[in-house]
């Protein structure tokens, strides 16, 4: 004897068929999307040269991080102690020299000091090349405030070769938040 299909059985079969079709469509879509992503990634790897990747990375870093760094630096500087601010200023100054950004470091020099000892950027570059190595560590010593000037004693240690030590005093005048002038001891004591 055959059982007659009820309308309930028919509806259940139709719903089951619809579910199977939907799952098949979802699986096909996922497969196609995954293959498109892999194709795009492969395509990007093939079409971008190393120079373009570096240029793109530098561009995205400068667009977002320069503004963010400046704002973050302003906030950080304003919350630092006097000593920490002076150490930060001297550290930035020496980092600029180490990175070869002589123009930026030169612009930080106190005008009277700059005119007396380094009338030209070339004079400053020559002094820096003779005095500082391209890889230094800085040990900060005592700091003394004399009116609007801060005198920070440092020991600059060359991390290249025989690790020369240079004791050097920096004089920092803070004009405002992250706005400063630097001068320093010429003819420092070297230890070898």
DSSP 65-119: HHHHHHHHHHHHHHHS-HHHHHHHHHHHHHHHHHTT-HHHHHHHB-HHHHHHH-S
Q: What is the pLDDT of residue 3?
A: 58
Distance CA(164)–CA(115), nearest Å, equals 29
Distance CA(112)–CA(107), nearest Å, equals 12
Q: What is the pLDDT of residue 56?
A: 53
SS3 149: strand
Distance CA(144)–CA(124), nearest Å, equals 26
Residues of the chain scoring pLDDT < 50: 39-48, 60, 63-64, 188-192
Distance CA(38)–CA(186), nearest Å, equals 60
Q: What is the pLDDT of residue 70?
A: 60
CB burial of residue 183 (10 Å; 0-12, 13-18, 19+): buried
Contacts of 164 (CB under 8 A, 6+ apart): 133, 157, 158, 190, 191, 192
pTM: predicted TM-score of the whole model, two decimal places: 0.60
Cβ–Cβ < 8 Å for 140, 154: yes
What CATH number was assigned to the domain covering residues 82-191? 3.10.450.50
Model pLDDT for residues 114-170, shown as the tens digit of each residue: 999 999 999 999 998 888 777 678 888 999 999 999 999 998 887 765 557 788 899
| Other beta carbons less than 10 A from residue 129's beta carbon | 13
Q: What is the pLDDT of residue 114?
A: 95
Q: What is the pLDDT of residue 63?
A: 47
């Amino acid at each position: 004897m055959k059982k007659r299909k009820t309308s309930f059985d028919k509806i259940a079969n139709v719903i089951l068929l619809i579910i199977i079709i939907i799952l098949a469509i979802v699986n096909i879509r996922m497969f196609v999307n995954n293959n498109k992503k892999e194709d795009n990634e492969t395509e990007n790897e093939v079409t971008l040269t190393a120079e373009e990747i570096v240029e793109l990375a530098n561009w995205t870093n400068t667009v977002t991080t320069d503004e963010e760094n400046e704002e973050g630096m302003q906030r950080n500087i304003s919350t630092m102690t006097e000593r920490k601010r002076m150490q930060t200023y001297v550290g930035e100054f020496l980092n600029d020299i180490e990175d070869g950004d002589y123009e930026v470091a030169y612009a930080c020099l106190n005008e009277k000091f700059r005119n007396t000892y380094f009338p030209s950027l070339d004079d400053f570059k020559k002094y820096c090349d003779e005095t500082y190595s391209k890889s230094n560590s800085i040990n900060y010593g005592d700091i003394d405030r004399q009116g609007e000037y801060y005198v920070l004693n440092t020991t600059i240690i060359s991390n290249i070769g025989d690790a020369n030590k240079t004791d050097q005093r920096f004089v920092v005048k803070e004009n405002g938040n992250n706005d400063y002038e630097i001068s320093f001891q010429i003819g420092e004591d070297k230890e070898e």
